[in-house]
Structure 1
Amino acid sequence: MVTPDHSPGQPAMSYPFEPSFIRPLSSKAARKPPARSKSSSRGHVIGGGSPSGAPPRLRYYESKREQDVLYLLLARPDVVDIWDQPPPVFYHDANGRKRSHTFDFLITLTSGKRIAIAVKPDAIAERQGFREALQRIRAAAPLSFANEIVLITERSYCPSAARNAQKLHDFKRTPDPEADGSIETLVRCLSGPTTIAELVEASGLGGRAFRAVFKAIYAGVLRALEPGDILPTTRIIPEALQ
């Protein structure tokens, strides 16, 4: 089977097999976001099964920024679990009134550390005094819920990092061991920097190799020498040579 699947600036993609369907696990969200909103982008992402080899899981997001953060978390090798919309934390505001806050994500790292993540636009966090409220939430949250509480805004990451993470997520949805093995063999023969396009050409696998190289960068086999979007023109070097 050959399936065109490419965008400008990327090689055409093709696969020698039909991907099998794996039914995703349900979201663990304590509350399901409304399906429609006039002011934000809402949806879900399927992927990132944990532990390794487990079926992928459905996770909700309520804005484009939350979607970016979710892709960034899914791309991190030290994140073993992502809980979207975990149970709320109850706290008292500055006037002594009891309130609740539901974090956007609660992640667990390979170390066992649990981090609760709130995602907000920087301007809104400033206008609403959310950082001050977060101090109260942090004080009220039990250690059994999270070891650390953080706020992520658009100042916390580069847009290109989120775009790369989304591409990684898309590429990992269709495993291709043959292409991965071919790239690993070619990487062992490299003695210095090259471009992704040159490595893809050497493989003879076209777009399949581009995806394999992309995944190899995130796996720590290769390192991109320039920041920004990972493209065929991106210069790379084996991590072992560093």
Structure 2
Amino acid sequence: MSNEDSNYYIPAGPSWASRTITLKSSASSRGFLLNHTCHRWAGYESFLERDFLTILLAHPDAERFQEQPEPVTYVDADGKLRTHTFDVVVYLRNGRKVAYDIKPEKRRARSQIKAIQRLISKQHPNYADKYVVRTDRQISRDRVRNAELILRARTLWDGETIEELRRHLASMHGVFQFASLVALFNEEAVGFNAVLNLIDMQELKPVTRGLFNDNTELEICKAA
């Protein structure tokens, strides 16, 4: 079997993280998930980081990301030289670069992470276009589960079904429920995945927030 064969297995490369992710830890949950944007393993040091990476992998605006990039050196308010490692740096499709820190909400204020980000932004103006802190308030279970559904649907791509759904949508207007689109197909699972694929491709947009379900309201995205 040659590597030109579509079934040829190419193992994922090692993580590009600047520090080694030690899997054995009694204080946190650590592991790896596949970063399909570069076909490498992405390491995480907590469930919260894992969930954030899952959301990133399904986000249409994220072209690629780097977890645990090289540390940044900065001078703190007392004049001491410090280093900080961002949890994730994301490269967006519009060319912008966003540096993220992931913290539990209860530790956000105590960590003074926003102050650290402001110092780095001032001292290294070209490091990133934007600095963001994400906590469990934004990394909700619904968002994570929706991302998991999107990622799974990508592996079940069915071009014919997607084209059929597009033909149906061409004559539809307004807002409609998720279940009503799935019902257009004889096989529920096939229709369900096709709807998720079009959400992923930003051809359909959820109007209601929360976990994707039969009652989720959708509308057709207007062409740019």
- Using the TM superposition, name which of 169-178 and 57-66 deviates more: 169-178
Higher relative contact order, structure no. (Cα contacts within 8 Å, ≥ 6 residues apart): 1
Change (3 A) 1:43 1:170: farther
Offset, 1:21:
4.8
Match runs of 1:81-120 below 5 Å: 81-120=64-103
Q: Is the 8 A contact 1:194 1:235 kept in 2?
A: yes
Q: Is 2:34 aligned against 1:46?
A: yes
Higher deviation after alignment, 71-80 or 154-163? 154-163
Asked if the contact 2:121/2:128 (under 8 Å) is kept, the reply is: no
Distance 1:57 1:180 in 2: 29
Aligned to 1:206: 188
| Aligned equivalents of 1:36, 1:171: Cα separation in 2 | 32
What is residue 11 of structure 2 aligned with on the other side?
A: 23
Residues 10-56 of structure 1 show CA distances to partners (whole Å, capped at 9, x for unaligned) of xxxxxxxxx87553343221122211222222222214325xxxxx3
> Which residue is 1:140 aligned to?
123
- The match for 2:141 is 159
Q: Please name the residue that 1:14 is paired with.
A: none
Please state how far the C-alpha of 1:84 moved relative to its aligned partner. 0.9
2:3 — aligned with what?
Answer: none
Distance 1:195 1:21 in 2: 39
1:72 matches 2:55: yes
SS in 1 for 2:137: helix
Q: Provide the residue aligned with 2:217 in structure 1.
A: 235
Q: Is the 8 A contact 1:47 1:169 kept in 2?
A: no
Shift of 1:210: 0.4
SS at match of 1:59: strand
Structure 2 CA distance for partners of 1:206 and 1:135, relative to 1, 3 Å: same
Contact 1:210 1:232 in 2 (8 A): no
Question: Is 96-105 or 187-196 further displaced after alignment?
Answer: 187-196
Preserved CA contact (<8 Å) 1:33 1:62: yes
Residue 40 of structure 2 corresponds to which residue in structure 1? 57
CA distance in 1, matches of 2:129, 2:173: 43
SS of residue paired to 1:207: helix
Matched, 1:37 2:25: yes
Quote the offset at 1:139 in angstroms. Answer: 2.7
CA distance in 2, matches of 1:154, 1:22: 35
Which residue in 2 is equivalent to 1:12? none
Taking the aligned partners of 1:47 and 1:134, their CA distance within structure 2 comes to 25
Distance 2:207 2:132 in 1: 30
C-alpha contact 2:178 2:217 (8 A) present in aligned 1: yes
Deviation of 1:240 (Å): 4.2
Q: Is the 8 A contact 1:214 1:230 kept in 2?
A: no
Q: Structure 1 residues 41, 93: closer, same or farther in 2, change over 3 A?
A: same
- Structure 1 match to 2:4: none
User: Is 1:126 aligned with 2:105?
Assistant: no
Identity of aligned residues (%): 29
TM (norm. structure 2) is: 0.84
Q: What letter corresponds to residue 173 of structure 1 in structure 2?
A: T
